[in-house]
Amino acid sequence: MKRMLLALFTALWFGASAQITVSALTFPATNDTLWYAFDDAPPLSLNANSAPGGPQIWDFSELEAVETDQIVYRPASAGMNFAQFPGADLVLITGGGETYFNKTNTQFQVVGFAGEFAAAFGADIVGRYQPASIERRAPMNFFDINQQQSDLNFAFSTDQLPDSLFAGLNFIDSIRIRLNTSRLDVVDGWGACELPFGALYDVLREKRTTYTNTAVDLYLTFPFPGWIDLTTLLPGGGAFGDLIGTDTTVQYLFFSGTEKEEIAVVTYNAAGDSLQDVQFIFNGISATDDADAPGKATIQAHPNPAVDWVRFDCANLPADSYTFKIFNIIGNEVWKETHFLSGNRSVRVDLEDFKKGTYLYSLEDKQGNTISTKRLVIIKP
């Protein structure tokens, strides 16, 4: 039955759809919280690498949220290493370190990273991309083609590494890792992407092929001080052997014109014919919609602060009619909608007609009982 309904919807959608343009309004901004889910064993039938063109339907409805995560973009000044990245606008702070970003009207760029670099055996590093690595471009349209190259070089003392790596080689003072990344981005498809629980987005698909070449240098204090390629001293690279060389990654990224999260990022092997994992936008809906699920009924606004839209994520709702309301700061009702809901559901609201400012939102059941009232902040560019 599901396939029959999908086929019917596809026929209707094809008749009404058009190519979208993804604007800079979808670039992450300060204090944005982005939500993602991950499926490390996606179904092999996933058709992310279909032939170029459009309109297409990419059916990702069988994905499972094996793991979820949220990332918060903070002002760059919130990072401990901000002084190392002058001009950066945003920072992502995680347990492993800090990643700094620049945002312009046409590009969202990765400036560099500071913190623990796993490929360097956990050593703490600070590295800047030269030039900055472009993660998103705007406006994005079907059949855009872009190429870029970027270098990320960083050095650290051998004192940060286990003694066993260079036992008896006391004349090796420092390590330098050189990463050269070459990338080809082609917006080769357009259509709609269906995620679990009926979520459907108009999207552009970008095929991203990345070649990363890694080299390792050693700084010798004897007999001739200076940098030397590691393979000159240790054929095969020694403990760094698995790190040296060129790696190829093939990804298909799906962008909408409304969400700041990528709708999906599907990673394949170097040949592009073996599916590895999928990251996709997470809307807070669990794998089951059980009206008797334990826990208190809740409502949460995402993103908050909001710009162009807000999504109200509800959980643990007994089957009933519910009314969503938004009030201005003096308590006047400025918007409401009623829906029949059960379990975990989400309702999206367009904020085009709202002015910037602080609001209150609430959820009421059919009897007029308020489930919750919380604050919503709306900002405008």
DSSP output for 272-299: S-SEEEEEEE--S--S---TT-SS--EE
48 located within any domain: yes
Instruction: List the domain range (segments joined by +) for residue 343.
Output: 298-378
254 in any annotated domain = yes
Q: Which pTM value belongs to this model?
A: 0.70
Q: Is residue 8 a part of any domain in this protein?
A: no
Is 6 a domain residue? no
Residue 100 contacts residue 85 (beta carbons within 8 Å) = yes
Residue 314: the pLDDT is 87
Q: Is residue 204 part of a domain?
A: yes
Residue 360 bridge partners (DSSP): 327, 375
Convert the pLDDT of each residue in 90-123 to its tens digit: 999 887 789 999 999 999 999 999 987 655 556 6
Residue 91's alpha-carbon distances to 57, 112, 123, 327, 373, in angstroms, are: 35, 10, 20, 33, 31
Q: Which residue has the tokens 């599901």?
A: 2
Domain shared by 263 and 338, yes or no: no
**In terms of domains, do 68 and 134 share one?**
yes
Check if the beta carbon of residue 160 is closer than 8 Å to that of residue 118: no
Same domain, 331 and 272: no
Give the integer Cα–Cα distance in Å for 206 and 190.
Answer: 9
Indicate the burial class of 89 (C-beta count within 10 angstroms; 0-12, 13-18, 19 or more): buried
Residue 366 lies in a domain: yes
Report yes or no: 285 and 345 within 8 Å, Cβ to Cβ: yes
pLDDT at 285: 42
Contacts of 18 (CB under 8 A, 6+ apart): none
Are 330 and 370 within one domain? yes
175 and 58 within one domain = yes
For 13-67, how does the pLDDT look when each residue is reduced to its tens digit (9 = 90+)? Answer: 444 457 899 999 999 999 888 888 899 889 888 999 999 999 999 999 888 887 8
263 with 312, same domain: the answer is: no
* CATH code, domain carrying 346: 2.60.40.10
Residues 115 and 196 in one domain: yes
Residue 10 lies in a domain: no
> In this structure, are 90 and 179 located in the same domain?
yes
Does some domain include residue 288? no
Query: Each residue's pLDDT tens digit in the chain (381 positions)?
Result: 344 444 434 443 444 457 899 999 999 999 888 888 899 889 888 999 999 999 999 999 888 887 878 788 999 999 999 999 999 999 998 877 899 999 999 999 999 999 876 555 566 788 999 999 999 999 999 999 999 999 999 888 877 766 666 666 678 888 888 999 999 999 999 999 988 866 788 999 999 999 999 998 989 888 888 998 888 777 776 666 777 888 999 999 999 998 889 999 999 988 877 889 999 998 644 333 333 334 578 888 888 878 888 888 888 888 888 999 999 876 788 999 998 888 888 888 989 889 888 888 889 988 888 888 888 888 876
Q: What confidence score (pLDDT) does residue 197 get?
A: 66
The answer to whether residues 95 and 187 belong to one domain is yes
Q: Is 346 found in the same domain as 211?
A: no
Q: Tokens 């082609």 — which residue?
A: 186
Count: domains in the chain: 2
Same domain, 271 and 317: no
